[in-house]
């Protein structure tokens, strides 16, 4: 992940789920009642609360009920939950603005007319806010979206019109109409104090709504240009998809990603381990994809989906691929799973494996173990900070590993040491960098060692715990999984390069692979786990890079939230359980290619750059437009009050 992508990832702090519509409406009425107790002054507290509900809550209820109906009649797709949450937010904005104005009116000679003027500005402001959201969610033209956006403002203005004395001032409808619609003697005392509101104020409100709508149009037009030029899509497509995902859990964001995606061919490698009499014990599945972009959008929940398809205990390591190889839709996951099943059906099993070898090349540490003529290899840059490895780097490393005589090679990025989103360089391993050559040269050494190593019968033991933690703590639904391979002792092997650590000789060797369903690890945690667990001869820790945990916050690495001592104790217990589970097995590996749609080369960086530019440019632009709109509003009130 680059710095630009990290800035985009930090937007995940805005991720939430919209409450149900009745929860939003209920909270809106409660807030209105509380404000009524504070703002109104009648004979009974219950009456104050009711007046707050009537004057403040009813427009919110009207907006909650009628906005989705009107929007959908006009071809939109705003849900009741979204409409209710939007109405509640607008109610809170109105309350905040009016309460501030009320305090100012008490401390200054501006008086009640200032409160009325401020209320009109607040009503026009929530119209603009609602207009922006409805245009984004429903992708309606400004004029069409205005119908649904105006409901809350019109409802509040109508109540103000009827009960503030404006209707009496107009003298229309005769005594019967006045008797039923205008009852000033029953209006709240503080509302009665501001009788009457000049009919011209409502004309000003209409003018303010037009001015603010023009501001919304200008803002969207300017902010949309970079998106259309660089990606050929509208920012509203992204906003609509993002709002739909975070508020409703919809799949609309995938439609946006599909529009910018590109076709790609990716290898899908499967290592299956079974008992000699039949029955799969473990399955390692590695599609050369990145499990993103976030949550369960695209391939964000890819590790879990892979695990659900395995007969034995599934181990889905992180591939050497970055965000450019995110799947654009969850439908693409089915293609990957079908390809993995095809590879699985073609596997030929053998009962021979090598001891594991470990090579240190520059900053890279590679651990590998061969099963027949195939090999499973992991790479880490710990204790150095690193994030994703580029697709091209991984392919080159696999090719180098195969020059030693290996057939298929499953190369996993251990993804187990990073410092989050800090610093200018977030550890992305790109082609041409020193780190990329460290991995490539190290893979070549591992391939040579494993190609020449002795193959022997071996055993496998596995263990799994869902853990007491969840995505908020940085642990995904797969929890922690352990695989321990036991290869008995043999005659010493020769010809090994000095850079490699081996376990040759007559002694047997146990190698443990720890899979944590999380997105990277805090610095130093991997090394402390390796040093404190002595039940095996060699150990590597891998994370799946699941992006389910990133719906909570952009980083949320393993070790950020959970106690380190508890984590290490659980891993140690799982290793012991896996050792107790050891039994003779046989293994085989096969690869197939899948044709899928991914973000595409440099698309992630382009999307991140465009989104970050929009965010950085949007705040000053919005501030300038709001300042200009408020200045015009003040000028309008000044001219009309002369």
Residues 558 and 633 in one domain: no
Residues in the chain: 642
Mean pLDDT of the chain: 82
Residues 67-99 have pLDDT tens digits of: 888 988 888 878 787 788 888 888 888 888 877
327 beta partners: 598
pLDDT of residue 191: 43
Separation between Cα atoms, residue 388 and residue 2, nearest integer Å: 9
pLDDT of residue 62: 86
Q: Which two tokens stand for residue 633?
A: 């509003």
Instruction: Report residue 44's pLDDT band, with 50, 70 and 90 as the boundaries.
Output: low
Separation between Cα atoms, residue 8 and residue 18, nearest integer Å: 22
Query: Is residue 255, in this structure, part of any structural domain at all?
Result: no
More confident residue, 571 or 226: 571
Residues 67 and 200 in one domain: yes
Query: Is residue 493, in this structure, part of any structural domain at all?
Result: yes
User: Is the pLDDT reported for residue 585 higher than 70?
Assistant: yes
pLDDT of residue 568: 97
Separation between Cα atoms, residue 454 and residue 452, nearest integer Å: 7
pLDDT of residue 50: 62
Q: Contact at 8 Å (CB) between 425 and 466? A: no
- CA-closest candidate to residue 322, choices 608, 602, 125: 602
Q: Count of CB atoms within 10 A of residue 490's CB? A: 18
User: Is the pLDDT reported for residue 522 higher than 80?
Assistant: yes
Distance of CA 461 to the CA centre of its chain: 35
Q: Contact at 8 Å (CB) between 373 and 401? A: no
pLDDT of residue 587: 97
Residues 348-395 have pLDDT tens digits of: 999 999 999 999 999 999 999 999 999 999 999 999 999 899 999 999
How would you classify the pairing of strands 262-274 and 409-413? unpaired
Query: Is residue 583, in this structure, part of any structural domain at all?
Result: yes
What are the helix (H) ranges across 507-560?
525-532
Give me the phi and psi of 27, to 5 degrees please: -65, -35
Q: Which of 110-119, 383-392, 444-453 has the lowest mean pLDDT?
A: 110-119
Separation between Cα atoms, residue 371 and residue 519, nearest integer Å: 28
Residues 631 and 592 in one domain: no
State the average pLDDT over residues 416-429. 73
Residues 272 and 217 in one domain: no
Q: Which three-class secondary structure state does DSSP give residue 55?
A: helix
Residues 143 and 180 in one domain: yes
Q: Which residues contact 151 (CB under 8 A, 6 or more apart)?
A: 62, 63, 66, 67, 70
Separation between Cα atoms, residue 449 and residue 451, nearest integer Å: 5
pLDDT of residue 227: 79
123 CB-side CA count, 13 A:
29
pLDDT of residue 433: 94
Torsion, CA 393, CA 395, CA 399, CA 401, rounded to 10: 70
Provide the domain count of the chain: 2
Residue 316 to residues 228, 263, 290, 454, Cα–Cα distance (Å): 37, 23, 12, 27
Q: Contact at 8 Å (CB) between 307 and 328? A: no
pLDDT of residue 243: 67
pLDDT of residue 134: 87
State the average pLDDT over residues 210-227. 87
Give me the phi and psi of 460, to 5 degrees please: -135, 135
Residues 360 and 501 in one domain: yes
Query: Is residue 15, in this structure, part of any structural domain at all?
Result: no
Separation between Cα atoms, residue 621 and residue 640, nearest integer Å: 29
pLDDT of residue 181: 42
Q: Which of 17-31, 146-160, 530-544 has the lowest mean pLDDT?
A: 17-31
User: Is the pLDDT reported for residue 286 higher than 90?
Assistant: yes
Query: Is residue 269, in this structure, part of any structural domain at all?
Result: yes
Residues 321-343 have pLDDT tens digits of: 988 899 988 889 999 999 999 99
Instruction: Report residue 499's pLDDT band, with 50, 70 and 90 as the boundaries.
Output: very low
Q: Angle CA(555)–CA(560)–CA(563) in degrees, nearest 5?
A: 160
Q: At how many degrees (to 10) do helices 80-107 and 151-163 cross? A: 50
Beta-sheet strands, E only, within 233-312 = 262-274, 280-287
Q: Contact at 8 Å (CB) between 414 and 341? A: no
Instruction: DSSP letter for 493, please.
Output: P
- CA-closest candidate to residue 129, choices 95, 79, 94: 94
Residues 276 and 235 in one domain: no
482 beta partners: 463, 514
- CA-closest candidate to residue 37, choices 48, 27, 29: 48
Residues 226 and 351 in one domain: no
User: Is the pLDDT reported for residue 276 higher than 80?
Assistant: yes
Q: Contact at 8 Å (CB) between 105 and 112? A: yes
State the average pLDDT over residues 521-527. 95
Residues 475 and 360 in one domain: yes
Query: Is residue 84, in this structure, part of any structural domain at all?
Result: yes
Query: Is residue 9, in this structure, part of any structural domain at all?
Result: no
State the average pLDDT over residues 461-468. 96
Distance of CA 261 to the CA centre of its chain: 18
User: Is the pLDDT reported for residue 311 higher than 60?
Assistant: yes
H or E element in which residue 260 lies:
helix 252-260
Residues 460 and 572 in one domain: yes
Instruction: Report residue 489's pLDDT band, with 50, 70 and 90 as the boundaries.
Output: confident
Query: Is residue 579, in this structure, part of any structural domain at all?
Result: yes
Distance of CA 600 to the CA centre of its chain: 19
Q: Contact at 8 Å (CB) between 475 and 517? A: yes
| Domain coverage including residue 110 | 20-248+605-641
Q: Which of 165-179, 245-259, 276-290 has the lowest mean pLDDT?
A: 165-179
State the average pLDDT over residues 102-125. 80
Residue-wise burial string across 497-536, b where 16 or more C-beta atoms lie within 10 A, e elsewhere: eeebebbbeeebbbbbbbbbbbbbbbbebbbebbeebeeb
Residues 439 and 582 in one domain: yes
Strand-by-strand arrangement of the 313-315 sheet: 313-315, 280-287, 262-274, 583-598, 458-465, 480-487, 509-516, 538-543
Q: Which two tokens stand for residue 102?
A: 């009320």
How would you classify the pairing of strands 409-413 and 374-380? parallel
Separation between Cα atoms, residue 42 and residue 185, nearest integer Å: 11
Residues 581 and 636 in one domain: no
User: Is the pLDDT reported for residue 582 higher than 80?
Assistant: yes
596 beta partners: 264
């Amino acid at each position: 992940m680059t710095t630009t992508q990290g800035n985009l990832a930090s937007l995940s702090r805005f991720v939430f789920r919209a409450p149900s519509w009745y929860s939003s409406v209920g909270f809106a009425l409660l807030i209105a009642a509380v404000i009524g107790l504070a703002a109104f002054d009648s004979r009974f507290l219950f009456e104050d609360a009711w007046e707050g509900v009537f004057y403040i809550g009813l427009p919110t209820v009207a907006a909650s009920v009628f906005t989705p109906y009107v929007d959908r009649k006009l071809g939109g797709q705003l849900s009741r939950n979204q409409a209710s949450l939007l109405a509640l937010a607008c109610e809170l904005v109105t309350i905040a603005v009016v309460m501030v104005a009320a305090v100012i009116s008490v401390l200054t000679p501006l008086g009640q007319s200032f409160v009325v003027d401020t209320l009109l500005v607040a009503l026009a402001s929530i119209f603009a806010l609602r207009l922006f959201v409805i245009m984004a969610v429903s992708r309606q033209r400004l004029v069409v979206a205005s119908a649904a956006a105006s409901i809350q403002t019109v409802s509040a203005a109508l109540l103000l019109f009827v009960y503030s004395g404006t209707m009496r001032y107009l003298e229309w409808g005769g005594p019967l109409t006045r008797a039923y619609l205008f009852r000033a003697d029953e209006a709240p005392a503080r509302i009665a104090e501001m009788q009457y509101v000049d009919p011209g104020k409502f004309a000003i409100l209409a003018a303010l709504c037009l001015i603010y709508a023009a501001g919304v149009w200008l803002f969207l037009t300017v902010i949309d240009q970079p998106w259309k030029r660089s990606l050929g899509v509208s920012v509203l497509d992204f906003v609509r998809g993002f709002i739909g995902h975070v508020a409703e859990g919809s799949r609309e964001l995938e439609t946006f990603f599909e529009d910018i995606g590109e076709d790609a061919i990716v290898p899908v490698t499967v290592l299956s381990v079974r008992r000699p009499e039949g029955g799969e014990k473990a399955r390692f599945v590695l599609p050369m994809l990145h499990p993103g972009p976030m949550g369960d959008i695209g391939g964000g929940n890819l590790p879990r989906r892979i695990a659900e398809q395995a007969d034995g205990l599934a181990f889905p390591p992180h591939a050497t691929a970055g965000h450019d190889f995110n799947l654009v839709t969850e439908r693409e996951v089915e293609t990957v799973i079908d390809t993995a099943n095809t590879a699985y059906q073609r596997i030929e099993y053998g009962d021979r494996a090598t001891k594991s070898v470990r090579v240190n090349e520059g900053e890279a540490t590679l651990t590998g173990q061969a099963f027949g003529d195939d090999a499973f290899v992991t790479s880490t840059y710990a204790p150095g900070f690193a994030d994703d490895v580029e697709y091209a780097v991984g392919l080159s490393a696999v090719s180098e590993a195969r020059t030693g005589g290996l057939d298929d090679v499953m190369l996993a990025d251990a993804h187990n040491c990073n410092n989050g989103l800090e610093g200018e360089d977030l550890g992305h391993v790109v082609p041409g960098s020193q780190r990329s050559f460290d991995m490539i040269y190290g893979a070549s050494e591992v391939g040579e060692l494993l190609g020449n190593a002795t193959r022997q019968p071996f055993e496998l033991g596995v263990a799994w715990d869902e853990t007491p933690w969840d995505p908020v703590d940085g642990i995904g639904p797969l929890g922690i999984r352990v695989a321990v391979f036991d290869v008995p002792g043999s005659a010493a092997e020769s010809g090994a390069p000095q850079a490699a650590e081996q376990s040759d000789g007559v002694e047997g060797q146990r190698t443990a692979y720890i899979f944590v369903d999380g997105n990277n690890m805090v610095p130093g945690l991997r090394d402390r786990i390796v040093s404190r667990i002595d039940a095996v001869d060699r150990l590597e820790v891998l994370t799946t890079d699941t992006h389910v945990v990133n719906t909570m916050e952009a980083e949320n690495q393993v070790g950020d939230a959970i106690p380190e001592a508890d984590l290490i104790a659980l891993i140690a217990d799982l290793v012991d359980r896996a050792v107790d589970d050891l039994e003779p097995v046989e293994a085989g590996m096969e690869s197939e290619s899948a044709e899928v749609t991914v973000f595409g080369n440099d698309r992630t960086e382009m999307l991140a750059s465009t989104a970050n530019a929009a965010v950085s440019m949007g705040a000053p632009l919005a501030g300038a437009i709001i300042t200009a709109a408020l200045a015009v509003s003040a000028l309008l009130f000044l001219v009309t009050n002369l």
